[in-house]
Amino acid sequence: MITFLASIALLILGYVIYSKIVEKIFGADDSIKTPAYTHSDGMDFVPMSWWKGNLIQLLNIAGTGPIFGALMGALYGPVAFIWIVIGCIFAGAVHDYFSGMLSLRHKGEQFPNLVGRYLGNSMKAFINILSIVLMILVAAAFTASPAQLISSITPLNFTVSLLIVFAYFILAAVLPINKIIGRIYPVFGAILIFMAASIGIALIFSGQTLPNLTLDNLHPGELPIWPLLMVTISCGAISGFHATQSPIVSKTLKKESDGRKVFYGAMVGEGIIALIWAAAGMTFFGGTGGLQEALATGGPAGVVNEISTSLLGTLGGLLAILGVIILPITTGDTALRSSRMMLSELLEKIIHLKGKAQVLLVTALVGVPTFLLANIDYSFLWRYVGWTNQLSATIMLWTATIFLLKYKKFHWICGIPALFMTGVSGTYIFYAPEGFQMSYNLSLAIGTAITIIVTFWYIVKIIQSHKRKNQSNTTAA
């Protein structure tokens, strides 16, 4: 109980204290007009209040990630609390803030263009492909999972359910952001918050003993914590998918100071949701062994339904259904929307179309493969999201690091988590079942070698930055 409550308190303190430090280092300036006004188009660039932006951002980045991912991460034991708290405050929320604010400063640019500005055109080309593939995979996975549930609880078959979900995705991708997303997302965001808060409160007063972090129960399983936990729990700690979603909301901010409440704040909110579900998973089934059996029997959706219904009764069952259907849909639609934006930027010099014609054509280009992939098993799709997701997060953190170096700001706030995530991504791909499936020790050695090489590159960049600073000072003198 103490560990759980202390973890939530630390996340709140992280927002109250560390987010202001991050904002000050970035240099948020309300005298700068935001793209919502300078590029207003009635489609993507539409001014919105910060609280709407916060709820939209929360739904865009969350989906079922901080629920399903946290439940899977709970199998690692109370060490999951440590990763969620530290990862969220010092890596994930910083990552989300910079991905949103750099987009804001650069006229609402998408993730690949931001990478190109600070890491070069070669990395831009790579991340263009990587991020569009990630968006299509996420959109496909989040089309399939709610369609499967709809078909299981209604007379509709899977194909019809899939078509209904996908039709909504297309509408959300092509209509102005304030027509669907801006109107219904705040309601869905409130449902997500209410659902998590209800589970947390019911859990505290359920009479069950929430696990406390001790050396004896730090990690009861056999799987290595590093780097598997950092990939299993991404939403709630750090997720590269968020870098593709933040530019959607950056186009709607009225002033730069709203960025801290929207980007950093939404990530902390997601961290709290992940903490609640991780605690519920560890507690409700009498430990990680019971949780593993429940996951094997009913999957994450079944576990969510059982916990919600048992703790909250009929209301809990309703919330569970709403959560497992609505949340992936509200992430899948913006994944399709952001892939449409990315491809538009990529093809703008090739396809000389403007307005609705361009939107419809580019949506079709990303929509067709999304629909075809949605017919593949959800669990298979999701396996390939994990590493792609965390590699994207690593690249975004390095983009922010180079930005801070360029403008002679305190770059370590992004550089240290970037090095950490380099180690995670570099080790995971060689060890994971969907990767090269090498032995753990060999994977660890390769991941360490990659991190050392990147560290030397970082040191060279720091030295070059100091030389430019000294040359500027000499010239000025």
Are 443 and 437 a contacting pair, CB within 8 Å? no
Q: Calculate ∠ Cα 191-134-28, nearest 5°.
A: 65
Alpha carbon distance 73, 260 (integer Å): 28
Alpha carbon distance 450, 469 (integer Å): 29
Rg of the chain on CA atoms, in Å: 22
Are 270 and 95 a contacting pair, CB within 8 Å? no
- Write down the mean pLDDT value for the chain: 87
pLDDT in tens, 318-336: 777 777 777 778 777 777 7
Q: What is the DSSP annotation of 272-289?
A: HHHHHHHHHHHHHTTSHH
Ordered structural domains, the chain, with CATH: 2-396 (1.20.1740)
- Orientation of helix 412-431 relative to helix 19-26, angle to 10°: 110
Place of tokens 């902390």: 268
pLDDT in tens, 18-33: 999 999 999 999 999 9
pLDDT in tens, 194-206: 888 888 998 888 8
First-to-final CA distance of the chain: 60
Residue 305 main-chain phi, psi, to 5 deg: -65, -45
Residue 357 confidence (pLDDT): 60
Are 243 and 115 a contacting pair, CB within 8 Å? no
Alpha carbon distance 373, 385 (integer Å): 13
- pTM, whole model, 2 decimals? 0.90
Alpha carbon distance 366, 165 (integer Å): 16
